[in-house]
Amino acid sequence: MEKLINDFSFGLFFWQMVLFLMLLFLLKKFAWKPILNALNDREEGIKNALESAEKAKLEMQNLQADNQKLLQEARAEREAMIKEAREIKEKMILDAKEEAKSEADKMIISAQAAIESEKKSAIADIKTQVASLSLEIAEKVVKNELSNKDKQLQLVENMLNDSTLN
């Protein structure tokens, strides 16, 4: 250090200071501002990127909440549609059963009416046949009775006696 103090020259020191100040001036004018501007721009860019990342994060959270809400609404709507479909199915089955029962009752009533009609027709036919047979028998009996004169007189007397009794 003594050597530095002994070899010290004011002229050299002056020119070194002038050169150093010029270098600082040139650096300040041409390098320092662009470097600081670049650093400030970089800092601002990073800040903006962080802010937009935070906004994107919040937006994603909102979207996820909306998606969950939509999913819950869709599930509720699906459940309502399934419930409604089941109710419609049950109603259709019930209506079909009632309609089938109604048709069966109509068929039973129709069959009973047809049976009753056939029964009346058969009874009328039997009555007609019985009347026809009765007439044939009566005709044969009357012919047989009237063929003999004594029997005719006896028949007339019996009828007269029966008519006076009534």
Domain ranges (residues) in the chain? 43-165
| pLDDT tens, residue by residue, 78-91 | 999 999 999 999 99
Which pLDDT band holds residue 164 (cuts at 50, 70, 90)?
low
The percent of residues above 90 in pLDDT, for the chain, comes to 58
Q: Are residues 146 and 140 in contact, defined by beta-carbon separation less than 8 angstroms?
A: no
**b/e 87-116 (16+ beta carbons within 10 angstroms → b):** eeeeeeeeeeeeeeeeeeeeeeeeeeeeee
* Model confidence, pTM: 0.40
